[in-house]
Amino acid sequence: MVFLRSFSRLARPASSVLSARTAPRVTSGASFLRQPNAYRTLTATASQQGKVLLVLYDGGVHAEQEPQLLGTTENELGIRKWLEDQGHTLVTTSDKEGENSKFDQELVDAEVIITTPFHPGYLTAERLAKAKKLKLAVTAGIGSDHVDLNAANKTNGGVTVAEVTGSNVVSVAEHVVMTILTLVRNFVPAHEQIARGDWNVAEVAKNEYDLENKVVGTVAVGRIGERVLRRLKPFECKELLYFDYQPLSPEKEKEIGCRRVESLEEMLGQCDVVTINCPLHEKTRGLFNKDLLSKMKKGSWLINTARGAIVVKEDVADALKSGQLRGYGGDVWFPQPAPKDHPLRTAQNAWGGGNAMVPHMSGTSIDAQKVCHYFSLYHSHPAD
C-alpha cells in the first residue's frame, strides 16, 4: 500500500534554539518507511492487511453540517474508502487520554498511526514500547513534537515520523496577522462591550493602537515566519525583524524589507510585537519564561501559533497582569485540549483585555484541510 505521500525531512541543523529535532534517523518520508539501507512499505495481501489508527477530534453536528471538516472522527480525513478498498483496516478514535483509552488499546497492533496537531495522540516512550508493529507515525499537518523521536528511533528498528510539510502555512500565517491586529486594535474588549449592550468608546480606545510604525519581529523565519513578514509589509511597520540561525538571502531580505537580528534578547527589546514561529524541541520548551519575558519591550504584544509548551503559561499570565505584556494571543496550548483551569483561558491585562486566545484552529481552516488531504493522497516521493 502506498500511504501518505507528500512529506519532507524532519531533521534540521541543531545549531541554535530554533533548530528542529536532533534525531537523525527519524525522517519524514512519504510512501516509504526508511531504514539505514532499505525501504519498507505497508502492503496488503490476501493473508495480511495493515491496520491504520486515526486519532482525531469529534466533530458531532458540525462535521455533519460541513463534510469538508476532514479532521474529525466522522469524516476521517476522507481516507476510509480508499484504505478499505485496498484491504486495510482503519480504526478511528478521539479517546486518547489514559492507559485505558481507545488509543492505547488499539496502538498495540497498528502499523500506521495518524494524528493531527489539533488533537494530538501523544506517542510517548511508554506507548511506543507497546506498539510492536508500528512502522509509520504521521502528522496530518505540521509538527511532530507529540512524538518522542528518540524512542521512535529505537522502536521496531526505527519508526518513520512524517508530516505533511507546508500544507497549512498560509492558514497559520493569516491567523498570525489577524491575531496581531486583534490585539493591537483592542478588538476583543470592544466587541464584548457591544455584545453586552454597552457603548463606551473611551474605555476601549484607551488601549487601541495602529500597527503602522511599530517594530514587529518573528522568532524563526521558516515557511510560516517568512509568510508573516510578507503579509505585514503593506502595513508600513517601522521595522520587520527576525531571529533565526539561518538567514534569508539578501535578495529576500530586500524584497520583504526585513532585517536579521543576531541575538534573540536584542530583538525582543526592540519589538512592539513578537510572533513565535519556531518548532518545539528541547531547546525551545519553556523558552519564553519569566526571565525572557522581562527582556521584552514593556507593554508589547506576544503571539504564539507555534506550540503551547514554548511559553511558560503562568509566566505569561503574570506578565499580562503586571503590564510587561499588553497582550497575548494565539491558538496553541499544552496539553491539548486545554484544561478548563488553564491560566491562559482567562488571563488579562490590568484593563481587562489583552487576551486573543482561541482553540487550536489556525492551521485547520477548511481550505487548509483540503490542501492537506490533497497532498497526502496525490503527491508521492520517497524521503531523501
Q: Look at residue 320 and give its three-state secondary structure.
A: helix
Work out the average pLDDT over 294-305.
98
Is residue 383 assigned to a domain?
Answer: no
pTM for this entry: 0.83
pLDDT at 37: 31
Counting residues of the chain whose pLDDT is more than 90, the rounded percentage is: 78
pLDDT at 370: 82
Q: Do residue 197 and residue 319 come from a single domain?
A: yes
Dihedral over alpha carbons 35, 37, 42, 45 (to 10 degrees): -140
CATH number at residue 217: 3.40.50.720
**How many other CB atoms sit within 10 Å of the CB of residue 173?**
25
User: Which amino acid is it at 355?
Assistant: N
Q: Do residue 61 and residue 96 come from a single domain?
A: yes
Instruction: For residue 39, name the pLDDT band (cuts at 50, 70, 90).
Output: very low
Active site residues: 168, 307, 336, 360
Is residue 384 assigned to a domain?
Answer: no
List the one residue out of 384, 373, 355 whose CA is nearest residue 76.
Answer: 373
Q: Do residue 128 and residue 205 come from a single domain?
A: no
Q: Do residue 37 and residue 67 come from a single domain?
A: yes
Is residue 23 assigned to a domain?
Answer: no
Is residue 274 assigned to a domain?
Answer: yes
Q: Do residue 173 and residue 160 come from a single domain?
A: no
| Least confident stretch, 3-7, 122-126, 162-166, 201-205 | 3-7
Q: Do residue 131 and residue 185 come from a single domain?
A: no
8 A C-beta contact, residue 160 and residue 179:
no
Q: Which residues contact 144 (CB under 8 A, 6 or more apart)?
A: 10, 21, 28, 137, 161, 162, 163
Q: Do residue 253 and residue 371 come from a single domain?
A: no
Kindly report the three-state secondary structure assignment for every residue of 72-130.
ECCCHHHCHHHHHHCCCEEEEECCCCCCCCHHHHHHHHCCEEEECCCCCCCECHHHHHH
- DSSP letters for 117-181: TTS---B-HHHHHH-TT--EEEESSS--TTB-HHHHHHSTT--EEEE-TTTTHHHHHHHHHHHHH
Is residue 12 assigned to a domain?
Answer: no
pLDDT at 33 over 70: no
The Cα 276–Cα 300 span in angstroms is 14
Is residue 7 assigned to a domain?
Answer: no
38-40 and 33-35 beta bridge pairing: antiparallel
The Cα 69–Cα 75 span in angstroms is 7
- Give the residue numbers of the binding site for substrate: 142, 168
Q: Do residue 176 and residue 152 come from a single domain?
A: no
Q: Could you tell me the three cell numbers for 136? A: 509509520
The Cα 228–Cα 170 span in angstroms is 9
Q: Do residue 151 and residue 229 come from a single domain?
A: no
* Number of structural domains in the chain: 2
Instruction: For residue 209, name the pLDDT band (cuts at 50, 70, 90).
Output: very high
pLDDT at 382 over 60: no
Q: Do residue 113 and residue 123 come from a single domain?
A: yes
Q: What is the DSSP letter of 24?
A: T
pLDDT at 376: 58
pLDDT at 168 over 60: yes
- Give the residue numbers of the binding site: 142, 168, 223-224, 244, 279-283, 305, 331, 360-363, 380
| Least confident stretch, 52-61, 161-170, 177-186, 200-209 | 161-170
The Cα 75–Cα 94 span in angstroms is 12
The Cα 266–Cα 66 span in angstroms is 46
Q: Do residue 259 and residue 322 come from a single domain?
A: yes
List the one residue out of 377, 282, 223, 323 whose CA is nearest residue 16.
Answer: 282
Is residue 14 assigned to a domain?
Answer: no
Query: The cell 503527491 sits on which residue?
Result: 379
Q: Which domain holds residue 69?
A: 33-168+365-378
Instruction: For residue 4, name the pLDDT band (cuts at 50, 70, 90).
Output: very low
Is residue 326 assigned to a domain?
Answer: yes
pLDDT in tens, 320-355: 999 999 999 999 999 999 999 999 999 999 999 999
Q: Do residue 176 and residue 304 come from a single domain?
A: yes
In whole angstroms, how large is the CA radius of gyration of the chain?
Answer: 22
